[in-house]
Amino acid sequence: MPQGNITYLRHNEKITIYLTKNYCNDIKANDIGDAVGLHPDYANHIFKKAFGTTISDYIAELRIAHAQRKLLTTDMSITDIAYECGFNSIARFNATFFKKIQCTPREYKKKIVK
**Domain identity same for 35 and 63:** no
3 burial level (CB within 10 Å; 0-12, 13-18, 19+): exposed
**Domain identity same for 101 and 64:** yes
pTM: 0.89
Q: What is the pLDDT of residue 15?
A: 96
Going 88 to 27 to 24 to 61, the CA torsion angle's sign is positive
**Domain identity same for 70 and 28:** no
**Domain identity same for 76 and 108:** yes
- CATH at residue 90: 1.10.10.60
Q: What is the pLDDT of residue 114?
A: 58
Which domain, by its residues, includes 68? 59-112
The pLDDT tens digits of the residues spanning 37-86 come to 999 999 999 999 999 999 999 999 999 999 999 999 999 999 999 999 99
Q: By three-state DSSP, how is residue 102 classified?
A: coil
pLDDT at residue 1 tops 50: no
**Domain identity same for 65 and 98:** yes
At 13, give phi and psi (nearest 5°). Answer: -65, -45
Separation of alpha carbons 86 and 23, rounded Å = 7
The pLDDT tens digits of the residues spanning 8-28 come to 678 999 999 999 999 999 999
pLDDT at residue 2 tops 50: no
Please answer whether residues 93 and 60 qualify as being in contact, where contact means their C-beta atoms are separated by less than 8 angstroms: no
**Domain identity same for 107 and 72:** yes
**Domain identity same for 10 and 32:** yes
| Number of domains composing the chain | 2
Domain boundary among 12, 27, 52: 52
